[in-house]
């Protein structure tokens, strides 16, 4: 990398930044539907949080929702740690 940066007459940092702009990021197969669904879920969670904060729910126990979101978070963390596309 240092040799290539020197040939390009750039610092290593500048060379790597320029290289990163030219290199497409590949998330792997079939990730777009997953990302779309995660975005929808995030929007739904935000709407629920806004209603809870506004006092719309006073007696509902959200523990199951919190537990499910925690399980989803753990699964996503495992997925990204084991994915060869993120390396």
> For residue range 63-80, what is the model confidence (pLDDT) as tens digits?
888 888 888 888 887 777
Output the pLDDT for position 68. Answer: 86
Question: Please, which pLDDT band fits residue 17 given cuts at 50, 70 and 90?
Answer: confident
Task: Assess contact for 29 and 38: CB atoms under 8 A.
Answer: no
pLDDT mean across residues, the chain: 80
Check pLDDT > 50 for residue 87. Answer: no
pLDDT tens track for 22-45? 776 666 667 778 888 888 988 888
| Global confidence as pTM | 0.48
Task: Assess contact for 51 and 57: CB atoms under 8 A.
Answer: yes
Output the pLDDT for position 26. Answer: 62
49-52: Cβ within 8 A, 24+ apart = none
């Amino acid at each position: 990398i240092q040799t290539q940066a020197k040939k390009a007459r750039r610092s290593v940092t500048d060379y790597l930044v320029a290289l990163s702009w030219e290199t497409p990021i590949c998330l792997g197969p079939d990730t777009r539907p997953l990302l779309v669904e995660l975005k929808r879920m995030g929007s739904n969670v935000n709407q629920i949080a806004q209603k809870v904060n506004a006092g719309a729910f006073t007696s509902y126990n959200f523990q199951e929702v919190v537990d499910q979101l925690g399980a989803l978070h753990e699964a996503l963390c495992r997925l990204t740690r084991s994915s060869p596309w993120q390396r």
